[in-house]
Amino acid sequence: MELYRLGISELKELLDKKEVSPKEVLDSLFKRIDAVEDKVKAFVTVTRDKAYEMAAKNTDGVLSGIPLAIKDNICTKGIRTTCSSKILENFIPPYESTVTSRLLEAGYVLVGKTNLDEFAMGSSTENSGFFPTRNPWDLERIPGGSSGGSAAAVAADECIGALGSDTGGSIRQPASLCGVVGLKPTYGRVSRYGLVAFASSLDQIGTITKSVKDAALLMNVISGHDPLDSTSAPVAAPDFTEVLSKDIKGIKIGVPKEYFIEGMDKEVESAVKDAIKTLESLGAIPVEVSLPHTGYAIATYYILATSEASSNLARYDGVKYGFRAEGKDLIDMYMQTRAKGFGSEVKRRIMLGTYALSAGYYEAYYKKAQQVRTLIKKDFEEAFKQVDIIATPTAPEAAFRFGEKTDDPLKMYLSDIFTISVNLAGVPGISVPCGFTSNNLPVGLQLIGKHFDEATILNVAHAYEQSTEWHRRKPEL
Amino acid sequence: MKKYEAIIGLEVHAQMLTDTKIFCGCSTKFGSEPNTQTCPVCTGMPGVLPVLNRKALEFAIRTGLAMNCKIAPYSRFARKNYFYPDLPKGYQISQYELPICEHGYIEIVVDGEKKRIGITRIHMEEDAGKNIHEGDHSLVDLNRTGVPLMEIVSEPDIRSPKEAVEYMKKLRTILRYIGVCDGNMEQGSLRCDANVSVRPVGQEEFGTKVEVKNINSFKFVERALDYEIKRQIKVLEEGGTLVQETRLWDSGAGVTLSMRTKEEAHDYRYFPEPDLVPVTVDEKWTEDIRATLPELPDAKRERFISEYGLPEYDADLLTSERALADWYEEAVKSGGQPKAVSNWMMGELMRLLNEANASIEDCPVKPAQLAGMLKLIDKGTISGKIAKTVFEEMYKTGKDAETIVNEKGLVQITDENAILKTVDEVLASNPKEVERYKNGEEKLIGFFVGQVMKLTKGKANPKAVNELLRKRLKEQ
């Protein structure tokens, strides 16, 4: 088997036993990238030279010699970090994000920075300021988003694993659409220092991998309190690999009735229901639960996320770094820079958020949305009194075609209908492959856990993965 | 003409004396090369996050306690959004709905009357940078960006420019006493904006409020407010109406100029800062901080009056600076008579410090040395007059009074025979004056004393000289 096909844990074993060298791994991987990247277009920047340099260092870290891809909204010192935006097209961070610092200590090798919807705003990677990424399962279709580059790179075996970020489903939805494993940890579990902010109270860095075990391995490296991020929780992280093989007998799985609604894609529905049956056969107990405020999640999310974004993106003003357009005076320079530097979805969200925060509207929008957010959080707290985890579809449908939803933002926003509540509540969620549509497009199962209980969803996801073959299927490229 | 009264509230920005900035580890040192005290956090790089400097929080609590505020057990930061080149993030992290301190007051004394001025709130925020305009372009210095500030907002309890000045002075004194701000208005570590309105005396409702910005020295507090109050009264007297607006004090022209009206006011779109967790302060910490507070100026002033029997004027002046008060108490502790120490400090010491443009901290004379000199006066070793010369020498050289007196032979002549000899000399060489004295011109005694003192180079004991002169004149 080609080395590029391997996941982190398999490759780690070979590297640890010195059966292969980091250089051989990279040779194999870049051969793969050279062969398929033109079709997939997962990367904004491929860091070939840097990768060989890093691989030559031979550390004894747990990820020594493991080639990973990093979403291009996570700052890497000295390596261009664009957020797939023209406004940061030439931005080279003078500092390293906490997650990549931890990966560096663990000896990882950076293969490249992956494409995303500009500033992580989107669900298809069509909003990239540079080019769209294609779904390795069907190059006519979108890979999901916003971490579409990372998900496609993992699915196309252009890297061994990847990091993404998830504000409303941006890891789980593309993982689902690309047939890989995507984990969004609890808000506060992983430091956000160095993650270019979209919506600070919702953003969370997570993993996109070829298996659940790989997710656990990466989580062991990137989790834990960071003094540079005061919203990172001072909660000790367990060894996530240790709990993977626990028996899941007796685990109660909540199935929220609000997530299985009329009009949803039949193939997705049946794949997810089959997955729940599989879990039942492994000893888990399905229980119907209710998350009554689910219907308000999208509206709530798009008020809060855009409000925060309108402020977070104010720094891109042409003064200090990034793109600057000439203007006849200061105000004109600001306007020209932002008009030319940002894409239309980013501008739409900045305007929405600015409006929601404006005097006279704040109470009706932002404040109200915060109150609803509390109710959504309570929904989960109530449900978790009865069950250990919650199972839902990750996305309402499999990968759609390019351009299918670009003219209708609302339709696009609905792609995240099953993932958004998880961010609002701050709980962890994982998407694992659970079947294919008749078009041979992957479908994902989402497992949602209690605050800081990634261990249980990883455990159940692993048990499911071990008893199915979905994650072994590879797209033909 | 109607009588008007002014309603004034002040918003004071005080730069905190922390070593590092409020949300990153950069130095807060003043006057360094532009952009040398910056990092990814304070320059607003993509992806960075603020972390609250605990010292800044402690300073805010310290200030709140010194100004009789309630310390909020739960407060939070908010973002104030606006675009400006000196604001790298496009928003200032400040506090809005839930400030750290509320409901306090300080006391001022105006024309002998004590008055309480309410403190509405004190909140923490970060300073912006500085734009430097050069010809056709501008440069931005971000050294000051992120320096911790406190905004201290008063109630509209101030009724005159004079009260405003007293309020500012008291605020500054307290801030300096508790060591949270150096109070330097000229360097911008203390800045003042004023909300001013006028109303006819007897009217309940407030008049239209005008915000006056850019008042950056004590001198201008009074002048700017004076000008603005007169301007507002004039508008009303001429039958006009005032508009709610922000005006800028132009110190060169001595006028306030309209900057923007209410319609043009910014909408700052405040919302809770999601990058910082809410600030929680437990009572124990508050009490620990309270325990480290020094004696505050009002209490010290009262004590100086009761303990040392000082007049109010002396007590006011000596407690206006903590270092001054400490110096005073040390001198008294070293044996100086309280009123004498006060007189010497307010007189000679202040004069010499002012001449040298020095502060009490740099005073070359130690408190015990002043006490030592006062003892020499008490013992009659030197006269009060000679003491002035001695003190100047002490200030110049840092030597003890006794050393100087011995080195320079300034010991007072108290030996009657020695003085008598000089007295006789003086009387012998001024026969005309002696005649006139005898004919009733008794005020000439001063002339004779002066002559004796001149001949003895001021060393003769003035009391003895006086007595001996009168005795000899009577005998003649």
| Structural domain spans, chain A | 3-244
| Distance of residue B77 Cα from the nearest chain A Cα, in angstroms | 13
Task: Estimate to the nearest angstrom the gap between the alpha carbon of B52 and the chain centroid.
Answer: 30
Determine contact: B47 vs chain A, CB below 8 A.
yes
Q: What proportions of chain B, in percent to the nearest 5, are helix, strand and coil?
A: 40, 20, 35
Comparing C-alpha atoms, which of A183, A219, A274 is closest to residue A99? A219
In this structure, the number of other CB atoms found within 10 A of the CB of residue B424 comes to: 12
Mean pLDDT of chain A: 96
Amino acid in the structure at residue B95: Q
In this structure, the number of other CB atoms found within 10 A of the CB of residue A57 comes to: 13
CA-to-CA distance for A461 and A466, rounded, in angstroms? 9
**The pLDDT value given to residue A59:** 78
Q: What is the pLDDT of residues A71-119, one digit of tens each?
A: 999 999 999 999 999 999 999 999 999 999 999 999 999 999 999 999 9
The strand order across the sheet containing A285-289 reads: A43-46, A109-114, A67-71, A161-166, A204-209, A181-184, A429-436, A442-448, A389-393, A252-256, A285-289
If asked whether residues B285 and B300 sit together in one domain, one would say: no
Phi, psi at residue A329, to the nearest 5°? Answer: -150, -175
In this structure, the number of other CB atoms found within 10 A of the CB of residue B384 comes to: 9
Determine whether the interchain pair B44/A357 forms a contact, defined as Cβ–Cβ distance below 8 Å: no
A vs B, Cβ pairs < 8 A, gives 103
Residues of B within 8 A of A320 (CB-CB) are: 43-44, 88, 140
Interval A374-401 mean pLDDT: 97
Structure tokens at A404: 């299918």
Number of domains present in the structure of chain B: 3
If asked whether residues B222 and B371 sit together in one domain, one would say: no
Q: Are A99 and A74 in contact (CB under 8 A)?
A: yes
If asked whether residues B376 and B420 sit together in one domain, one would say: no
Amino acid in the structure at residue B93: I
| Window A:184-213, CB contacts with B under 8 Å | 192-197, 199-201
Q: Are A182 and A175 in contact (CB under 8 A)?
A: yes
> What angle (nearest 5°) sits at the alpha carbon of residue A109, between those of residues A107 and A110?
135
CA atoms within 13 A on the CB side of B137: 4
Structural domain of residue B123, as residue ranges? Answer: 4-289
If asked whether residues B119 and B233 sit together in one domain, one would say: yes
CATH of the domain at B427: 1.10.10.410
Query: Considering all CA atoms of chain B, what is the largest pairwise distance in Å, rounded to the nearest integer?
Result: 100
Comparing C-alpha atoms, which of A46, A43, A38 is closest to residue A79? A46
Amino acid in the structure at residue A270: S
CA-to-CA distance for B278 and A2, rounded, in angstroms? 51
Strands A204-209 and A109-114 turn out to be unpaired
Helix B322-333, helix B367-379: angle, nearest 10: 40
Determine contact: B80 vs chain A, CB below 8 A.
no
Phi, psi at residue A256, to the nearest 5°? Answer: -75, 125
Beta strands in B398-463 (DSSP E): none
CA atoms within 13 A on the CB side of A454: 33
Q: What is the pLDDT of residues B113-127, one digit of tens each?
A: 899 999 999 999 999
| Distance of residue B151 Cα from the nearest chain A Cα, in angstroms | 22
Determine whether the interchain pair B50/A95 forms a contact, defined as Cβ–Cβ distance below 8 Å: no
Determine contact: B456 vs chain A, CB below 8 A.
no
Determine whether the interchain pair A193/B48 forms a contact, defined as Cβ–Cβ distance below 8 Å: yes
Cis peptide preceding A146, ω within 30 of 0: yes
Determine contact: B40 vs chain A, CB below 8 A.
yes
Determine contact: B97 vs chain A, CB below 8 A.
no
If asked whether residues B426 and B381 sit together in one domain, one would say: no
Structure tokens at A190: 């992983």
Determine whether the interchain pair B46/A315 forms a contact, defined as Cβ–Cβ distance below 8 Å: yes
Q: Are A460 and A276 in contact (CB under 8 A)?
A: no
In this structure, the number of other CB atoms found within 10 A of the CB of residue B357 comes to: 7
Residues of A within 8 A of B276 (CB-CB) are: 230-231
Determine whether the interchain pair B269/A195 forms a contact, defined as Cβ–Cβ distance below 8 Å: no
Domain-ending residue, one of B289, B318, B336: B289
Determine contact: B79 vs chain A, CB below 8 A.
yes
Comparing C-alpha atoms, which of A425, A347, A11 is closest to residue A186? A425
Beta strands in A218-320 (DSSP E): 252-256, 285-289
Determine whether the interchain pair A193/B49 forms a contact, defined as Cβ–Cβ distance below 8 Å: yes
Q: Is A192 exposed, middle or buried (0-12, 13-18, 19+ CB in 10 A)?
A: buried
Phi, psi at residue A186, to the nearest 5°? Answer: -55, 140
If asked whether residues B451 and B402 sit together in one domain, one would say: no
Q: What proportions of chain A, in percent to the nearest 5, are helix, strand and coil?
A: 40, 15, 45
pLDDT bucket at A255, cuts 50 / 70 / 90: very high
If asked whether residues B312 and B164 sit together in one domain, one would say: no
Residues 6+ apart with CB under 8 A from A184: A166, A169, A171, A172, A204, A206, A419, A422, A423, A428, A429, A430
Q: Are A459 and A250 in contact (CB under 8 A)?
A: no
Structure tokens at B194: 């004023």
If asked whether residues B129 and B183 sit together in one domain, one would say: yes
CA atoms within 13 A on the CB side of B74: 0
**The pLDDT value given to residue B390:** 82
Determine whether the interchain pair B274/A95 forms a contact, defined as Cβ–Cβ distance below 8 Å: no
Residue of B45, B51, B76 best to disrupt the A interface, most CBs of A under 10 A: B45
Q: Any idea which residue has 């319609």 for tokens? A: B263
**The pLDDT value given to residue B414:** 67
Residues of B within 8 A of A100 (CB-CB) are: none
CA-to-CA distance for A372 and B28, rounded, in angstroms? 41
Determine contact: B266 vs chain A, CB below 8 A.
no
Interval A20-38 mean pLDDT: 97
Q: What is the pLDDT of residues A274-290, one digit of tens each?
A: 999 999 999 999 999 99
CA-to-CA distance for A146 and A115, rounded, in angstroms? 8
Residues of A within 8 A of B85 (CB-CB) are: 317, 319, 330
**The pLDDT value given to residue B1:** 56
In this structure, the number of other CB atoms found within 10 A of the CB of residue A397 comes to: 17
Residues of A that are catalytic: 71, 146, 170
Determine contact: B85 vs chain A, CB below 8 A.
yes
Determine contact: A357 vs chain B, CB below 8 A.
yes
Residues 6+ apart with CB under 8 A from A382: none
Comparing C-alpha atoms, which of A70, A186, A53 is closest to residue A454? A186
Q: Any idea which residue has 């956000």 for tokens? A: A192
Interval A424-440 mean pLDDT: 97
The residue that leads in pLDDT, B243 or A216, is A216
| Window A:239-268, CB contacts with B under 8 Å | none
DSSP A219-257: HHHHBS--TT-TTS-------TTTTTTS--TT-EEEEEG
| Distance of residue B345 Cα from the nearest chain A Cα, in angstroms | 50
Q: A3-244 — its CATH code?
A: 3.90.1300.10
Q: Is B412 exposed, middle or buried (0-12, 13-18, 19+ CB in 10 A)?
A: buried
Determine whether the interchain pair A230/B49 forms a contact, defined as Cβ–Cβ distance below 8 Å: yes
The H or E element containing residue A447 is strand A442-448
Percent of all residues in chain A with a pLDDT value above 90, rounded to a whole number: 95
If asked whether residues B374 and B467 sit together in one domain, one would say: no
Determine contact: B48 vs chain A, CB below 8 A.
yes
Domain-ending residue, one of B354, B375, B408: B408
Determine whether the interchain pair B85/A319 forms a contact, defined as Cβ–Cβ distance below 8 Å: yes
Comparing C-alpha atoms, which of A307, A229, A314 is closest to residue B88? A314
If asked whether residues B300 and B237 sit together in one domain, one would say: no
**The pLDDT value given to residue B462:** 77
Does the pLDDT value for residue A196 go beyond 70?
Answer: yes
Determine whether the interchain pair B43/A320 forms a contact, defined as Cβ–Cβ distance below 8 Å: yes
Task: Give the pLDDT of chain B (476 residues) as one tens digit per residue.
Answer: 569 999 999 999 999 999 999 999 999 998 899 999 999 999 999 999 999 999 999 999 999 999 999 999 999 999 999 999 999 999 999 999 999 999 999 999 998 889 999 999 999 999 999 999 988 889 999 999 999 999 999 999 999 999 999 999 999 999 999 999 999 988 889 999 999 999 999 888 899 999 999 888 888 999 999 999 999 999 999 999 999 999 999 988 889 998 888 777 789 999 999 999 999 999 999 999 999 999 999 999 999 999 999 999 999 999 999 999 999 999 999 888 899 899 989 988 899 888 888 889 888 889 988 888 888 888 877 777 778 888 888 888 888 877 877 777 777 666 777 778 888 888 888 888 888 888 888 888 888 888 888 887 777 777 778 888 888 887 76
Q: Are A96 and A104 in contact (CB under 8 A)?
A: yes
Determine whether the interchain pair B47/A366 forms a contact, defined as Cβ–Cβ distance below 8 Å: no
CA-to-CA distance for A325 and A313, rounded, in angstroms? 17
Nearest CB to B271; choose among A196, A307, A314 = A307
If asked whether residues B43 and B146 sit together in one domain, one would say: yes
Please list the alpha-helical segments (H only) found in B282-349: 283-291, 297-308, 312-318, 322-333, 338-344
> What angle (nearest 5°) sits at the alpha carbon of residue B269, between those of residues B264 and B272?
155
Domain-ending residue, one of B289, B315, B336: B289
**The pLDDT value given to residue B428:** 84
If asked whether residues B136 and B180 sit together in one domain, one would say: yes
Determine contact: B83 vs chain A, CB below 8 A.
yes
